A and B are shown apart, each in its own frame.
Chain A
Amino acid sequence: MANREQWGTRIGLVLAMAGNAVGLGNFLRFPVQAVQNGGGVFIIPYLVSFLLMGIPLLWIEWSIGRFGGRSNNHSTPFIMDSMDRRSFWKYVGVFGIFTNIGVAAYYCYIESWTMSYVFHSIIQTFTGMSQEEVAAFFVKYVDVGKSTTGIPFESVLFYLICLGLNTYILSRGLSGGVEKVAKIGMPLLILFGILLAVRGITLGNTGLCADCDSHVGMNFLWEPQFDKLLDLKVWFAAAGQIFFTLSLGMGTIQCYASYVRSKDDIALNAMSAGWMNGFVEIVLGASIVIPISVGYLGLDWVKENAGFSMAFQTMPYLFNQWGAFLGSFAGVMWFGLLFFAGITSSLAMGTPWMGFMQDEFKWSRPKAAFTFGLLVLIMGLPTVFFFQEGFFDEYDYWAGTASLVIFATFETILFSWIFGIDRGWKELIQGADMKVPVFFKYIMVFVTPIFLIIILLGTLITPKNGDWQKAFTEKYELDHGSLIGKLTHSNIVANRSWFADRFESEVSGIVTDAYSDQKNHYVIISDETGQVIKTYAQPITKELAVSVGDKVEIATPLFRGRFVNPIFYLDLSRLMLLALFIFISVLVHKAHQKRKKIKRIYL
């Protein structure tokens, strides 16, 4: 069965592309990045990065996709193969399927939280809860063994519903499924966003604390700190934000664009989808979380707690302040908005796998959709069950961060230098409904690859706390969050084996308390001044190995018994991702053999 997918309308394609880019990060990552990196002045490196890296990369990915589609290739392994016949590129293209399955595995879990929180907003679960109770609700929710509604394995159930919904929509195809969701989801997302942003901007002084004023929050976000413009960290943060917000380096844009015919426009479509994402991020994203949070909790609280978790652990409490009905309505809007942002992205993640299986193995659409759901389920269930053990974060880093930068760097080099910018440029401007400024040709050849190589190096050898200034002018120290730091588990100083018969201290100090209750043993380690450094708790089935007054060093045993250390889960998650990459590479190899057998001509 040949792959006969087609977009229904141009607007549908643009909305689906914008939906692919618009994700939870537009509402949660952007404002936090802005406040941490110069406030209003952050927009300067942000827009410069958009101009020099974002727009060129969007055009590169759209062009690569449409070029591949011409020879009936709809996923990056054989799209890249059609651009350069050396085998290497096929396997680089594996990233364009691997990343999507790896990211969908945990992304669908976040999406299921938004779905569940819409449900809880409707049944008014959060009404009357304090800030601490709302935060505790989330912790309980992600603890698989506990239930917030009495439904056993509630978080697993919502995950399965969410994944099932994604699979069903994907099985309906591009125009019948993905595009329909984008046409409903994107306008609703923007409407909900506008309503909440208006509320955020007009909230003003709530009188709950000295600086509980949404305008203080907006000031915090937009006050330009011009001195930060000289800080390299700010430029890195802005380039990273542009890269991730546009869903670049994933292989989804290429897949969507591969269904566009050569005579139809891609240049204007890419600009429109890219700027629509910018609108959602800069206009709506900046006007909701920070202003409303400062309005009710004050600036100091936000400075300390600003981050991704605010969406689930704080926002329901803030909406509570508007009364039961309005609070519930606002909750539905907020989590509904996040749900639409999530589902339009997760659907995009399904299409490269489907395109690949339909193209190469002639699978039917439902079969391809079902296997995508199954793969995501196999990869994703550990993120649900071992969320607390760090499975989720590992997937996010390796599949959702490092892989994207690596893939984008390679595809840019392929497009601009190997395929050739002249052919690439011709592909971009063919059928264009806008005049593409010629200077972008030179940006694509020189500036964008340099930008990406810098980001790649920055990811590889991030200095401590991302402080490049200090790294260049004073002393360079590797950050634990850098790729090399992550790879070597540089942050794990003790308990470095998967299984052990002792649990070691991760800090040095003096045991100031060691006691047991009915459930656990506790050990409290303090410094010489008596300041508590770390508290450890282990089940009563283990054996205490220290007593009060003992001096402990890093790796001194604190408990004895049988232990499975966190490093086991981290390595297991990496092995699963590696297995996925190898599995897709084998499929690509098989597909290549098949092509050779039937002498399929590419161009």
Chain B
Amino acid sequence: MTTAALVTMISVQALVTIISGYFFWKILTAKPKPEPDSYSEE
């Protein structure tokens, strides 16, 4: 692979993975709202 292709691939994939992980982590750690909420099992 050329350096340009490698740098593009790694930077884009890392960026997307980090952002996706960040938002998913925020969902996992968000405080649940008081009942009654939208979720029957929470």
Contact = CB atoms under 8 A, between A and B. Distances in A.
Contacts of B26: 268, 272, 433-434
Interface stretch (A219-227, A484-492, A494-502, A588-596): A219-227
A40 to B, nearest CB: 4
Contacts of A272: 20, 23-24, 26-27
B23 A219 contact: no
A276 B23 CA distance: 9
Given A272-B27, A279-B20, A223 B5 contact: yes
Contact of B13 (A9, A219, A268, A283): A283
Contact of A40 (B9, B16, B28, B39): B9
A6 B20 contact: no
A40 B40 contact: no
A20 to B, nearest CB: 16
B42 A10 contact: yes
Contact of B27 (A7, A14, A218, A263): A14
Nearest to A176: B40
Interface in A1-35: 6-14
A263 B37 contact: yes
B2 A223 contact: yes
Listed residue (B20, B28, B30, B32) with the most chain A CB atoms within 10 angstroms of its CB: B20
Q: How large is the interface on A (under 10, 10 to 19, 20 to 34, 35 or more residues)?
A: 35 or more
Nearest to A223: B5
Contacts of B20: 272, 275-276, 278-279
Contact of A215 (B1, B16, B24): B1
B5 A39 contact: yes
Nearest to A266: B38
Contacts of B41: 8-9, 175
Contacts of B5: 39-40, 218-219, 221-224
Interface in A181-239: 215-216, 218-219, 221-224
Interface of B: 1-2, 4-6, 8-9, 12-13, 16-17, 19-20, 23-24, 26-28, 30, 32-33, 36-42
8 contacts: A14-B27, A43-B8, A216-B1, A224-B5, A261-B37, A261-B38, A272-B27, A275-B23
